[in-house]
Structure 1
Amino acid sequence: MKSYDVAIIGSGPGGYVAAIRCAQLGMKTAIIEKYSTLGGTCLNVGCIPSKALLSSSHHYEEATKHFEEHGIEIPGDIKVNLEKMIGRKQAVVDQTTGGIDFLMKKNNIDVFEGLGSFKDATHITIEGKDAQEIEAKKIIIATGSKPSTLPFITLDKERVITSTEALKLKEIPKHMIIIGGGVIGLELGQVYRRLGAEVTVIEYMDRILPTMDAGLSKELNKVFKKAKCNMMLSHKVQSVERHGDEVIVKAENKKGEVVEFKGDYCLVSVGRKPYTAGLNAEAAGVKLNDKGQVEVNEHLQTSASNIYAIGDVIKGAMLAHKAEEEGVFVAETMAGQKPHIDYNLIPGVVYTWPEVAAVGKTEDQLKADNVEYKVGQFPFRALGRARASGDIDGFVKILADKTTDEVLGVHMIGARCADLIAEAVVAMEFRASAEDISRMSHAHPTFAEAVKEAALAATEDRALHV
Structure 2
Amino acid sequence: MQYDVIVIGSGPGGYVAAIRCAQLGLKTACIEKYPTYGGTCLNVGCIPSKALLDSSEHYYNAAHTFKTHGINLDNLSVNFEQMIARKSQVVAENTSGIAYLFKKNKIDGIQGVGSFVDKNTIKVKKEDGSEQTITGKNIIIATGSKPSSLPFLKIDKKRIITSTEALTLKEVPKHLILIGGGVIGLELGSVYARLGAKVSVIEYMDSIIPTMDKGLGRELLKVLKKLGMEFYLGHKVTGATAEGDEVTVTFDSPKGEKMELKGDYCLVAVGRVAYTDNLGLENIGLTVEERGRKITVDEHLETSVKGVYAIGDVVRGAMLAHKAEDEGTFVAETIAGQKPHINYNLIPGVVYTWPEVASVGFTEEQLKEKGVKYKTGQFPFKASGRARASMDTDGFVKVLADATTDEILGVHMIGPRAADMIAEAVIAMEFRASAEDVTRASHAHPTYTEAMREACLAATENRPIHI
TM-score per shorter chain, which class?
over 0.9
Alignment correspondent of 1:34 = 33
Q: 2:105 aligns with which of 104, 107, 114?
A: 107
Distance 1:171 1:265 in 2: 11
Q: Is the 8 A contact 1:121 1:285 kept in 2?
A: no
Q: Which amino acid aligns with 1:366?
A: L
Residue type of the alignment partner of 1:99: G
Paired position in structure 2 for 1:162: 162
Tell me by how many angstroms 1:108 deviates: 0.2
In structure 1, the partner of 2:219 is 219
1:340 match: secondary structure? coil
Q: Deviation per CA, 1:288-327, whole angstroms, max 9, x where unpaired?
A: 2222111100000001111000000011000000000000
Alignment pair present for 1:412 and 2:410: no
Instruction: Report the equivalent of 2:323.
Output: 322
* TM-score (ref. length: structure 2): 0.99
Counterpart secondary structure, 1:37: coil
1:174 corresponds in structure 2 to 174
Alignment of 1:97-176 (within 5 A): 97-128=95-126, 129=128, 130-176=130-176
Letter in 2 for 1:103: L
RMSD between superposed Cα atoms in Å? 0.6
Q: Output the CA distance in 1 between the equivalents of 2:137 and 2:174.
A: 54
Question: Shift of the alpha carbon at 1:282?
Answer: 1.3
What do residues 175-213 of structure 1 show as CA deviations (whole Å, max 9, x unaligned)? 000000000000000000011100001100000000000
Instruction: State the shift of 1:255 in Å.
Output: 1.3
Match of 1:381 in 2: 382
Aligned length, in residue pairs: 464
CA distance in 2, matches of 1:198, 1:408: 39
Give deviations 1:345-371, integer Å, cap 9, x for gaps: 000000000000000000000000000
Contact between 1:15 and 1:142, CA under 8 Å: does it hold in 2? yes
What letter matches 1:217 in structure 2? G
- Indicate the residue corresponding to 1:68 in structure 2: 67
| 1:286 Cα offset (Å) | 2.3
Structure 1: runs of 5 or more not aligned: none
The equivalences for 1:331-350 within 5 A come to: 331-350=332-351
- Partner in structure 2 of residue 48 of structure 1: 47
Please state if 1:4 is matched with 2:3. Answer: yes
SS of match in other structure, 2:83: helix
Secondary structure of 2:30's aligned partner: strand
1: CA distance between counterparts of 2:305 and 2:99? 30
Question: 1:289, 1:239 → 2: CA distance?
Answer: 27
Task: Find the aligned partners of 1:254 and 1:460 in 2 and give their Cα distance.
Answer: 43
3-state SS in 2 of match to 1:211:
coil
- Give the TM-score, by structure 1 length: 0.99
The answer to whether the Cα contact below 8 Å between 1:10 and 1:143 also exists between their aligned partners in 2 is yes
Deviation of 1:253 (Å):
1.1
Give per-residue Cα distances to partners, 1:122-141, cap 9 Å, x unaligned.
Answer: 10000113311101110000
Aligned to 1:344, the other structure's residue is in SS state helix
Alpha-carbon distance between aligned partners in 1 of 2:425 and 2:231, rounded to the nearest angstrom = 31
Instruction: Tell me, yes or no, if the aligned pair for 1:22 and 1:29 is still in contact at 8 Å.
Output: yes
**In structure 2, the residue corresponding to 1:459 is in which secondary structure?**
helix
After the TM superposition, which residues 184-263 of structure 1 pair with which residues of structure 2 at under 5 Å, given as runs?
A: 184-263=184-263
Q: 1:344–1:359: 8 Å Cα contact kept in structure 2?
A: yes
- The more displaced of 140-149 and 250-259 is 250-259
Equivalent position SS for 2:463: coil
Shift of 1:285: 2.3
Q: Which range is displaced more, 340-349 or 250-259?
A: 250-259
CA contact (8 A) 1:287 1:303 kept: no
- Aligned partner of 1:84 in structure 2 is 82
Partner amino acid, structure 2, of 1:344: N
Give a deviation string over 1:329-350, Cα, whole Å, max 9, x none: 0000001100000000000000
Q: Which amino acid letter does the alignment assign opposite residue 302 of structure 2?
A: Q
| Deviation at residue 77 of structure 1 after TM alignment | 1.1
Identical aligned residues as a percent = 66
Q: Which runs of 4+ in 1 moved over 6 A?
A: none
| C-alpha separation in 1, matches of 2:396 and 2:2 | 54
Taking the aligned partners of 1:440 and 1:30, their CA distance within structure 2 comes to 44
CA distance in structure 2 between the partners assigned to 1:290 and 1:58 by the alignment? 40
Q: Do 1:442 and 1:452's aligned partners in 2 also have CA atoms closer than 8 Å? A: yes
- Could you tell me how far apart the structure 2 residues matched to 1:253 and 1:370 are? 35
Partner residue, 2:452: 451
The CA distance in 2 between the partners of 1:415 and 1:286, in whole Å, is 45
